[in-house]
Structure 1
Amino acid sequence: METLKLQIGFRFHPTDEELLLHYLKRKVLSLPLLANVIPELEAFQFNPSDLPGDLKEKRYFFCKRKRNLVNKCGYWKSSGKDKQVVASGSNNVIGIKKSFVFYQDRKMKTKWIMQEFSLVGFLKTPFLNQRLLMQVGDWVVCRLYQRKRKARSHGATAYNSKGASVAQTPSFLPMSLSCSSGITDVSSSDLDQEASSRFL
């Protein structure tokens, strides 16, 4: 799998509207993308910590709309209600955002969040004289990130480097349990630390 490499100083932080109009819409219509920064990858099929990119940054992937929420490391569970994405300067709904949380070993909730964006259009019904919202195209774009832990004095949940909540680990499971898909990537922070250590 090809690892996404961005130029030094480049940050990719698109808004929901930008993701839908400038990236997903062009992908669905088979138009050339403005920048090749979103790889095609069935992200739901992997352990989130094994996906390419910096673990501390938000990562983006184009996926097919028909997805399997279960993989060999755990499963993705729908979280909250679907949200409509409205174009700025109008009340036109341009997309739907769904959120998922990753669970390891059935009951162990992690801090990994996947947001799935899909384009929508309106279908006019001749008999009911109303417009129905429907998804457009075979592609979605996903945003993956780790939920930040809130600072609390008691009962704060600890997370390990893979994003799993350590406090909820069942006592009968080994603490060194890991699930890797074989995808590896070196983050920019690792390179920065190595470079800085040479000059100290």
Structure 2
Amino acid sequence: MDNHSLVLCGFHFKPTDQELIHHFLRDFLTNRQLLLLQPYNTIIQECNLFGNRSEPSEIWEAYEGGAQLTDQSLYFFSELKKLNPMGSHIDRKIGSGGTWNIGKAVATWVNGTDGSPSPIGLKRTFCYKNEGSEDNGRWLLDEYSLFASHRKNYRDSRYDFDYVLCRLRKKDGSLNKRKCSTSEDQATSSKKKKCDDE
């Protein structure tokens, strides 16, 4: 399915973390009609990435045709599913026995009306783990959640809403690597790339 057929030629959807949370996710949660307008209705789809029986590569193929996007990402609004209706833990299962393993969570900030920075939500990064699948360690998921109100403790990782905005992407070098890198590996890789560029 070609979801970008209604998007202008040369258009690249590369929003910042702040834009994803402060504009797109907030708009989706407060007034879904705004995101039914073109071109956004062809760029950000609704798909439950938690509790889905499809592998990440199958979701990629279903929404993008796979081979056309080599260096881009897919964006989804996804409903969170709790392991226990009364609990706070989220069901991270996906595919045939796989799961999204969390790597790190970082607060996202915007400047408030008084000019001081204010946390608006969290970005959590996950890596797909499923030892029995070729997709194991080859997919990353950035999950964006919105805070309902200002939090003094922005490290508080609870969810205020039942929906999140997710960016699904292929892991760099995933064709050659089978494991998810650690944040230390990413920092080393980043430093190496910077040195290579100089």
Normalised-by-shorter TM-score class:
0.5 to 0.7
Q: Does 1:110 align with 2:145?
A: no
Distance (Å, rounded) in 2 between the aligned partners of 1:13 and 1:84: 19
Per the alignment, residue 86 of structure 2 pairs with none
Indicate which of 50, 75, 79 corresponds to 1:60. Answer: 75
1:118–1:148 CA distance, 2 compared to 1 (3 A): same
1:111–1:50 CA distance, 2 compared to 1 (3 A): same
Indicate which of 139, 145, 160 corresponds to 2:163. Answer: 139
Q: Does 1:49 align with 2:49?
A: no
The CA RMSD over aligned residues, in Å, is 3.0
Contact 2:101–2:129 (CA under 8 A) maintained in structure 1: no
Instruction: Please identify which structure carries the higher strand content.
Output: 1
Question: How many matched pairs?
Answer: 149
User: What one-letter code is carried by the residue in structure 1 that aligns with 2:138?
Assistant: K
Comparing 140-149 with 114-123, which one deviates more in the overlay? 114-123
Could you report, residue by residue, the CA deviation over 1:25-58 in whole angstroms, capped at 9, with x for unpaired residues?
Answer: 0011024126322010112423111221235311
> TM-score scaled by structure 2?
0.63
Percentage identity across aligned positions? 28
User: What one-letter code is carried by the residue in structure 2 that aligns with 1:145?
Assistant: R
Instruction: Please identify which structure carries the higher helix content.
Output: 2
The gaps in structure 1 that reach 5 residues or longer are 125-129, 150-157, 167-200
**CA deviation after TM superposition for structure 1 residue 3, in Å:** 5.0
**CA deviation after TM superposition for structure 1 residue 8, in Å:** 2.5
Per the alignment, residue 4 of structure 1 pairs with 3
1:106–1:92 CA distance, 2 compared to 1 (3 A): farther
Per the alignment, residue 189 of structure 2 pairs with none
**CA deviation after TM superposition for structure 1 residue 21, in Å:** 1.3
1:102–1:123 CA distance, 2 compared to 1 (3 A): same
User: What one-letter code is carried by the residue in structure 2 that aligns with 1:39?
Assistant: Q
Q: Does 1:76 align with 2:99?
A: yes
> TM-score scaled by structure 1?
0.62
Per the alignment, residue 100 of structure 1 pairs with 126
**CA deviation after TM superposition for structure 1 residue 105, in Å:** 3.2
Contact 1:78–1:98 (CA under 8 A) maintained in structure 2: no
Distance (Å, rounded) in 1 between the aligned partners of 2:150 and 2:118: 14
Q: Does 1:87 align with 2:110?
A: yes
Could you report, residue by residue, the CA deviation over 1:56-89 in whole angstroms, capped at 9, with x for unpaired residues?
Answer: 3111000012263223434233232311011146
SS at 1:87's partner residue?
strand
Q: Does 1:25 align with 2:31?
A: no
Distance (Å, rounded) in 2 between the aligned partners of 1:165 and 1:3: 29
